[in-house]
Structure 1
Amino acid sequence: MASASSDNALPSGGRIFSSIPDIFFIPEFVFGGLVWILVASTYVTPPNPLGWVMFVSVFCFLGTTIWFFIFLCGANKSYIWPTLDVGFHFVAAVFYLSASVDLAIITQLLSEFSTLASSFTFYRLDIAAVVMSYVATLLYFLHAIFSAIRWKRS
């Protein structure tokens, strides 16, 4: 007799488009990609403060892409995957939170020097990047919370 706990709690294939928390994959792609694009299109001197933001946005975008394809192909059938799912999304949420705070501080510091028209354009791009970064942080945090709930049930 098969028990209910032997079923894998993680969806695979097309079911990831209709299950919580896996439905967050697409918005994580969108907002993480927007952070990456907006930060890459700004001009900051020196560029070091935004290096962490670029690392986090690229790391999380590529990590989410790999994670998405693992789930889509159905390679997530081992018992370790729910734990890895929680761990990855928690780390991504913490990384994005630190990058968001860093980006907000740099944007605030640059607001004092945005008197020229070209500087004001970069300032507006930085503001958009800050907003998108906090939205990505929220998405990764929600994904981590719902993954933890799913992990506890499995």
Structure 2
Amino acid sequence: MHTHMASNTGQMGFLPSGGAIFCTIPDILYLPELIFGGLVLSLVASTYILPYNPQAYVISVAIFCFIVTFLWLMVFACGSHRNKSSWAGADVAYHGFAALLYLSASVLLAWITITFGNSDLNGTLIYQLDVAAVVFSFLNTLLYVIHTIFSAIRWKSF
């Protein structure tokens, strides 16, 4: 049995489980990551996806990160990680990888929006959806970066 309490930052060699994941940093970021990821996916999927357009990559990143983040949330919520340092290290690795994926997708999405935003192919509504997707994509990148940093701090405390 673990004898010390989790701090707000989830440090001190403690990986929360159950409802405690919604009370500690970085684990509290799972929900916004899922919400913003779902918004990116929905917004990009509701626009034109041209064959030569890298928006398919953006959708793939959004789907991958949404599914894996949800599964990661379930592992922590169910307590399957058993408070081990290897899970803390894997948490850092996954969120760092997700941050890099989202950064690359965000840059591509911003490029697409700038390049195709004023063309006759896209109307004003499509342009606005793309701009919103870019904003949420960069916000999700930031969330994953913050999650990575605080996960690394927690991992070092093991």
Q: State TM-score, norm by structure 2.
A: 0.88
The aligned residue for residue 20 of structure 2 is: 15
Q: 1:104 aligned to 2:110?
A: yes
Q: 1:147 aligned to 2:151?
A: yes
**What SS class does the counterpart of residue 119 from structure 2 fall into?**
coil
**What SS class does the counterpart of residue 80 from structure 1 fall into?**
helix
Q: 1:45 aligned to 2:50?
A: yes
Q: 1:84 aligned to 2:111?
A: no
Task: Give the gaps of 5 or more residues in structure 1.
Answer: none
Q: For the Cα contact (< 8 Å) 2:13–2:157, is it kept in 1?
A: no
Match of 1:61 among 63, 66, 69: 66
Query: What is the percent sequence identity of the aligned residues?
Result: 50
Structure holding more helix per residue? 1
Take 1:152 and 1:22, find their aligned partners in 2: how far apart are those partners?
16
Take 2:143 and 2:155, find their aligned partners in 1: how far apart are those partners?
18
Identify if the C-alpha distance between structure 1 residues 3 and 44 changes in structure 2 by more than 3 Å, giving closer, same or farther. closer
Instruction: Tell me the amino acid that sits aligned with residue 49 of structure 1.
Output: P
Over the residues paired in the alignment, what is the CA RMSD in angstroms?
A: 1.9
The aligned residue for residue 140 of structure 2 is: 136
Take 2:146 and 2:97, find their aligned partners in 1: how far apart are those partners?
12
Take 2:77 and 2:49, find their aligned partners in 1: how far apart are those partners?
38
Instruction: Tell me the amino acid that sits aligned with residue 85 of structure 1.
Output: D
Task: Give the gaps of 5 or more residues in structure 2.
Answer: 5-11
Instruction: Tell me the amino acid that sits aligned with residue 108 of structure 1.
Output: I
Q: State TM-score, norm by structure 1.
A: 0.90
Take 1:133 and 1:64, find their aligned partners in 2: how far apart are those partners?
15
Give every structure 1 segment of 4 or more consecutive aligned residues whose post-TM-superposition deviation is greater than 3 Å: none
Query: What number of residue pairs does the alignment pair up?
Result: 149
